[in-house]
Amino acid sequence: MAGNNRQRFTVKKLDGEWARVEREDGSKGRVSLDKLLASDAEGTGVNYRFHGWRRLPRGYRTDFEVLRLAERTQTCLIALPEWDPAAEIEVRLNTLPNELKAAGAGGSCRADLTAKSEAELSLHGFSAGKARGLSRTAMGAHPKVVVGGQEYRRREDGKRFRILEVEADCPTVPAWSGRRVVRLNVARLLAKGSDSAGIHYCYIGGGRVQARRGRAARRRGTGQSATVAEGSDHT
């Protein structure tokens, strides 16, 4: 749900920078992954609220970690972070591949993430491979460079800014505040604390396509990276 629109939708497929969705009324559309995953410092969704999983016949493939073994009973305790990071779930050792029969080992399995209890998880399909799909960390990573299209929220007053075209090596960048164009200090935009979160600004999302294009241009040695503030993460 976003803004005044309280209609729920289900993510059906990931398509590059977009998520294909189906709404409660049956209509279909797409949502930007940047906006879908944008969260504040407490991990709460900025634009959308996560309501839960829709049950699938074979469950979702999700990552797990082996916490410890109980060889006497031929069982082990595992954690399923997507279901409940604090829960310790008991499974039989003979359901795991040999390379995962050790504390600290990790892989993926299928589980019913809509389950209300451990008994309803229906764990199966254990594999040493990690779950494929969305690889972003809930937009928690603060950018190392400033590019056009990024959105930030200033922590001191909550005001949002959208970065416009960036000039290479310029210490400030133009940004739209919702009312007018202002110039923001690159060093303050990129400054991070010990928790890797922005000190002065919270990164909301956007700019990923521009950042990839800038990296590709630098790898080709063209030097055409006008949308990227080169080296500004060390200023």
Q: Where are the domains of the chain?
A: 1-51, 60-127, 151-234
Sign of the Cα pseudo-torsion (110, 115, 117, 122, in order): negative
Beta bridge pairs of residue 107: 64
Per-residue pLDDT reduced to its tens digit, 115-130: 989 989 999 999 998 8
The residue with greater pLDDT, 7 or 69, is: 69
Give the domain 60-127 fold.
OB fold (Dihydrolipoamide Acetyltransferase, E2P) (2.40.50)
H-assigned helices in 86-201: 186-190
CA atoms of 171 and 98, how far apart (whole Å): 54
- In which residue are the tokens 């990923």 written? 208
Q: Please, are residues 70 and 57 in contact by the beta-carbon 8 Å criterion?
A: no
Tokens of 133: 């799909």
Per-residue pLDDT reduced to its tens digit, 3-37: 556 778 888 877 777 888 888 888 888 888 878 87
CA atoms of 45 and 41, how far apart (whole Å): 10
Question: How many C-beta neighbours within 10 Å does residue 224 have?
Answer: 14
Q: Please, are residues 204 and 189 in contact by the beta-carbon 8 Å criterion?
A: no
The residue with greater pLDDT, 119 or 194, is: 119
CA atoms of 223 and 220, how far apart (whole Å): 8
Question: How many C-beta neighbours within 10 Å does residue 146 have?
Answer: 26
Full-model pTM: 0.48
CA distances from 85 to 24, 67, 78, 163, 168 (A): 29, 12, 10, 36, 42
Question: How many C-beta neighbours within 10 Å does residue 182 have?
Answer: 13
The whole-chain average pLDDT of the chain stands at: 80
Q: How many CA atoms lie within 13 A of 143 on its CB side?
A: 32
Question: How many C-beta neighbours within 10 Å does residue 6 have?
Answer: 9
- What phi and psi values does residue 18 have, to the nearest 5 degrees? -125, 155
